[in-house]
Amino acid sequence: MEKISDNLAFGGRQQQWRHQSAALGCAMRFGVYLPPAAAQHKLPWLLWLSGLTCSDENFSHKAGAQRVAAELGIALVMPDTSPRGEEAADDPAYDLGQGAGFYLNATQAPWSRHYRMYDYVTQELPALLRGQFPLNGRVAVAGHSMGGHGALVCALKRPQDYVSVSAFSPICHPVKAPWGRKAFAAYLGDDETRWREWDASLLLAERGSPLPIRVDIGLADPFLAEQLQPDALQKAARESDSRLELHRHAGYDHSYYFVASFIEAQLRFHARHLLA
């Protein structure tokens, strides 16, 4: 563990750390925000998964979440979006390779050597955090775009690990979306039956969810119809009798301006469950 930076923010500490990941076989960075209450006792925490082209820094710099997290007494954890470094496979396109890990475990070469982001964010990183920071066992998960897909999939596959899940502009049905189909073909191979376990809409329809789910979508999002497909997730929630709050916001797009506008609402949604 190497501390890269440490800044005072709303009475708490915004930090960036580096460590060697066994799951990914490379050095990884993550951000953590520890609100003032962390000095007194262990806190519940939110795992935030960012989207395509992002790193561990986008959310901490752009979302404005620290003010509300400090008020509520919730820690924030922000991992990177993929393996990094010269040894990790990459692609010239923005939607594959580094910055585009899709929070799954790749099975195809050359990706399978390093791209095991699902194992990293659901197992290795939480175990590391519990040993290093004043965090308790109550965890929520959230994300944006590709990270919204990741948050939903993590919560649907491992509901025992979380108390709630939310997403901004998630890729809800990746087996039918260009972003998802490209990534899944590369990381998982051509057998589309293997893709199903990484599709939130299919998982929700098949398994349901005991967790409360909140999704925020901007109706001016240029990716809404083709890439995001929230109607598929809503249909799956109805079929499985799951608790989905789907909020559609007129005029908002896919950017971090949208995230910043409604991050307080999402954090307060999670607080009802993390602090119960």
Residue 52 corresponds to which tokens in the numbers above? Answer: 């395509």
Predicted local confidence at residue 206, as pLDDT: 97
Residue among 145, 164, 201, 242 flagged as catalytic: 145
DSSP-H helix ranges across 65-199:
66-72, 117-119, 125-132, 146-157, 178-188
SS3 168: strand
Whole-number percent of the chain with pLDDT over 70: 100
pLDDT value at residue 182: 98
Residues 114, 51, 72, 30, CA torsion sign: positive
* Residues 27-52: tens digit of each pLDDT: 999 999 999 999 999 999 999 999 99
| 145 carries an active-site annotation | yes
Which residue of the set 95, 221, 242, 270 is catalytic?
Answer: 221
d(CA 169, CA 253): 9
pLDDT in tens, 104-131: 999 999 999 999 999 999 999 999 999 9
User: Domain ranges in the chain?
Assistant: 2-275
CATH number of 2-275, picked from 3.40.800.10, 3.60.9.10, 3.90.870.10, 3.40.50.1820 = 3.40.50.1820
> What's the pLDDT tens digit per position in 122-169?
999 999 999 999 999 999 999 999 999 999 999 999 999 999 999 999
Q: What predicted TM-score, i.e. pTM, was given to this entire model?
A: 0.97
